[in-house]
Amino acid sequence: MYDWLGGEVTVRKLVDRFYDLMDSDPDVATIRAMHKDDLGPMRQSLFEYLSGWLGGPPLFVQQRGSPCITKAHKPFHIDAAAAEQWMKCMRQAMIDVGIDQKYRQMLEPAFGRVAQALRSD
């Protein structure tokens, strides 16, 4: 999937657009409030995670070891609404960076499973 999407350049654009949307859309204020003011470190972390998750270089593992995203998200109250806010940003980011519809149709359920797995309600 990493290569089909366009590799590093597209994954970086996806992550940047995702966080730009999170930072500017008042409808996703709940998830924005879960982040520090400076989104730079999170942009890098999500880029590294998605790189490996999508089948590209395992940057997150190389830099930080095996990811445990459930542990990283445990301090936050993530309910159905928060999971949907995350998905809203990711859906729109995929569209905005020009990911082909056939790949979006494959990725959306996978992203959805991740978002649901992080719920704490």
- pLDDT tens per residue, range 8-55: 999 999 999 999 999 999 999 999 999 999 999 999 999 999 999 999
pLDDT digits (tens, 9 = 90+) for 72-105: 889 999 999 999 999 999 999 999 999 999 999 9
Q: Please indicate whether residue 99 or residue 65 has the higher confidence score (pLDDT).
A: 99
pLDDT of residue 65: 85
pLDDT of residue 67: 79
CA 113 to mean position of chain CA atoms: 12
CATH number at residue 6: 1.10.490.10
CA quadruple 73, 108, 87, 117: dihedral, nearest 10: -30
Domain range for 59 is 2-117
The domain total for the chain is 1
* Nearest to 114, CA basis, from 76, 74, 70, 81: 70
